[in-house]
Copies of this chain bind each other. A is one copy, B any other.
Amino acid sequence: MEENKTIIEALIFASDNPLSADRVAEIIPDVKKDEINRLIRELMREYEERRGGLYIQEVAGGFQFRSRENLGSWINRMKGGKSLMLSPAAMETLAVVAYRQPVVKAEIDRVRGVDVSGSLRGLLEKKFVRIMGRKDVPGKPIIYGTTKKFLEVFNLKDLSELPTLRELKDLKNET
């Protein structure tokens, strides 16, 4: 493939936003605008003719690689399986449960300083946190703890493998 075309292809591919021909011209100033436009059209046509899983789309004043629309359900299937991500809020709630368990919700609320109902529910759904029982005190509050899945996902043999705050602080001592 012609070198300028490979450069343009790589630029479109790696760009975080749709890449305009003007921007390409700024990056490779030796190549004329017309020529850049021609090469982009050529690339688009190639991907079109190839009929593979991706193509170049003109969008928002620029060009961008995309996966074919009719394959969206497969991609959703891939992304859906990846529930192994947590929002920072969920991570904090999980941290309090992990280190302070067995723990009641009021205590998690207190430590985090917010109502954790939402993130706690999410963690229960993801099966990182479970209901361990109830306390025999007024109101019979629910007690929460972590699950086996939690250990699995975080790659821990048991809870004693969780790093302690002391160990975290030791790492902070910059040399």
Residues of A within 8 A of B (CB): 1, 5-15, 19, 23, 26-28, 50-54, 65, 67-68, 71, 74-75, 77-79, 81, 114-121, 124, 130-134, 140, 142, 155-157, 160-161, 163, 167, 170-175
Q: Are A71 and B117 in contact (CB under 8 A)?
A: no
24 A-B pairs in the complex with CB atoms less than 8 angstroms apart: A1-B53, A6-B53, A10-B68, A10-B74, A11-B75, A11-B78, A13-B54, A13-B67, A14-B75, A27-B77, A27-B78, A28-B74, A115-B173, A115-B175, A117-B170, A117-B173, A118-B174, A118-B175, A121-B172, A130-B155, A133-B155, A133-B156, A133-B157, A133-B161
Closest to A174 in B: B118
Query: Please, how many angstroms separate the alpha-carbon atoms of A132 and B161 in the complex?
Result: 9
- This protein's copies in its complex: 2
Query: Please, how many angstroms separate the alpha-carbon atoms of A132 and B53 in the complex?
Result: 38
List chain B residues, Cβ under 8 A from A77.
27
